[in-house]
């Protein structure tokens, strides 16, 4: 009978172990984060952000006709890096991004800015229960997140040299101006539309235009009061032109151009207006002695044609206009 008793004991032990397991079941090992591969996958849960991003120029980076023309439909493969990038966190903030092989039409997508190397999502909070497993990542709000793509023409360095980079009450980083809180409320998250040169309201806030008489001479001033970097910045195809004309005359007369020329335009200096700086020009022309009009225009394209198109309003937006009496 001995063996039977032994079997009985081991049955009991197995039953006990099973009961223990059933009651005190150890937590399952954490499932590997879901590997997101497309911005489309974020849409269903983050509709507001997705809708904003879709109208942003980040979402147009690959399909933008200006870019396609200039890159010869991306036959120039150097252009793919930032216009269809792999995640910034893959190479690291501040470092050059790598070109993506897939879904290039999504341009600078959610994944480019948010995907961490371990497939989790860089966010402002830890939410391990959420499907995308966001982790609070300080570097997401770092200006170095923008630098891999936006410091090619020194926009980030220009910001560093500006008063906005000084810690204190006047501190304003890229996000403060380009990704403001929705409705000014930090609990509502940040606007992903990321306005830039395509938004004339933003461009108007960058500078003020003043016309005065100094010793009878017409004097025009443009001050960069609202951009945390040069005006205009980044894209070399941008230009802002200052014109004047005697009142009642049709033809504008060119006074100054703010622009960072392409490298091949070796004869042209960089005439962008640094943050906080003022350009002062005196109109040395007897025709400026009477009533005159002064205007500042902004061009997205075709931009780099020098000298400027004789009609300043050609493909240009009026930024500011001023009048000056004799």
Considering only residues 81 to 110 of the shown chain, the ones binding ligand HEC according to CB under 6 A are 81-83, 85, 88, 97, 108, 110
The interface with ligand HEC within residues 45-84 (CB under 6 A) comprises 45-46, 49-50, 53, 57-58, 60-61, 64, 66-67, 70-71, 76, 78-79, 81-83
Closest separation between CB of residue 299 and ligand HEC, Å? 10
Where residue 73 falls (left for φ over 0; alpha for ψ -120 to 50; beta otherwise) is left
Is 209 a binding residue for ligand HEC by CB under 6 A? The answer is no
Considering only residues 255 to 274 of the shown chain, the ones binding ligand HEC according to CB under 6 A are none
> Which residue matches tokens 């910034």?
88
Listed ranges 121-129, 248-256, 281-289, 310-318: which one lies at the site for ligand HEC (CB under 6 A): 121-129
- When the beta carbons of 124 and 219 are compared against ligand HEC, the nearer one is 124
Contact residue for ligand HEC among 100, 120, 132, 222 (CB under 6 A): 132
318 binds ligand HEC (CB under 6 A): no
Q: Which of 116, 146, 242, 288 binds ligand HEC (CB under 6 A)?
A: 146
For 8, the token pair is 């009985």
Long-range contacts of 316-319 (CB under 8 A, 24+ apart): 316/241, 317/200, 317/203, 319/200, 319/203, 319/204, 319/207, 319/209, 319/240
Query: Which listed residue (100, 120, 154, 177) binds ligand HEC by CB under 6 A?
Result: 177
Half-sphere exposure of 149 (CA within 13 A, CB side): 22
CB of 313 to ligand HEC, least distance (A): 19
Compare residues 253 and 256 and give the one whose CB is closer to ligand HEC: 256
Alpha-carbon Rg for the chain, nearest whole angstrom, is 29
Of positions 33, 94, 98, 127, contacts ligand HEC by CB under 6 A: 127
- 36 near 132, Cβ under 8 Å? yes
Determine if the peptide bond prior to 302 is cis (ω within 30°).
Answer: yes
Distance CA 298, CA 316 (A): 5
């Amino acid at each position: 009978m001995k063996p039977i008793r032994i079997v009985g004991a081991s049955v009991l032990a197995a039953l006990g172990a099973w009961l223990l397991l059933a009651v005190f079941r150890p937590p399952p090992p954490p499932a590997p984060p879901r590997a997101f591969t497309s911005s489309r996958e974020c849409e269903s849960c983050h509709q507001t952000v997705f809708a904003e991003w879709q109208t942003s120029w980040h979402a147009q980076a690959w399909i933008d006709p200006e870019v396609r023309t200039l890159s010869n439909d991306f036959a120039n493969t150097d252009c793919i890096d930032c216009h269809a990038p792999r995640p910034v966190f893959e190479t690291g903030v501040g470092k050059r991004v790598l070109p993506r092989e897939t879904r290039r039409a999504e341009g600078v997508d959610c994944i480019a800015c948010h995907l961490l190397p371990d497939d989790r999502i860089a966010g402002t909070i830890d939410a391990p229960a959420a499907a995308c497993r966001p982790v609070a990542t300080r570097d997401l709000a770092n200006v170095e997140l923008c630098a891999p793509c936006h410091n090619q023409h020194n926009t980030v360095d220009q910001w560093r040299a500006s008063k906005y980079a000084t810690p204190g009450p006047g501190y304003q980083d890229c996000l403060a101006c380009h990704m403001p809180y929705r409705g000014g409320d930090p609990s509502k998250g940040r606007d992903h539309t990321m306005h830039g040169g395509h938004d004339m309201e933003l461009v108007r806030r960058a500078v003020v235009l003043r016309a005065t008489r100094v010793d009878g001479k017409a004097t025009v001033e443009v001050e960069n009061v609202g951009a945390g970097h040069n005006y205009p910045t980044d894209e070399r195809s941008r230009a802002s032109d200052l014109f004047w004309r005697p009142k009642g005359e049709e033809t504008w007369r060119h006074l100054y151009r703010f622009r960072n020329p392409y490298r091949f335009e070796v004869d042209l200096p960089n005439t962008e207006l640094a943050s906080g700086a003022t350009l002062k020009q005196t109109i040395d022309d007897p025709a400026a002695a009477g009533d005159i009009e002064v205007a500042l225009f902004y061009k997205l394209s075709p931009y780099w044609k020098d000298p400027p198109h004789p009609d300043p309003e050609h493909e240009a937006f009026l930024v500011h206009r001023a009048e000056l009496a004799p």
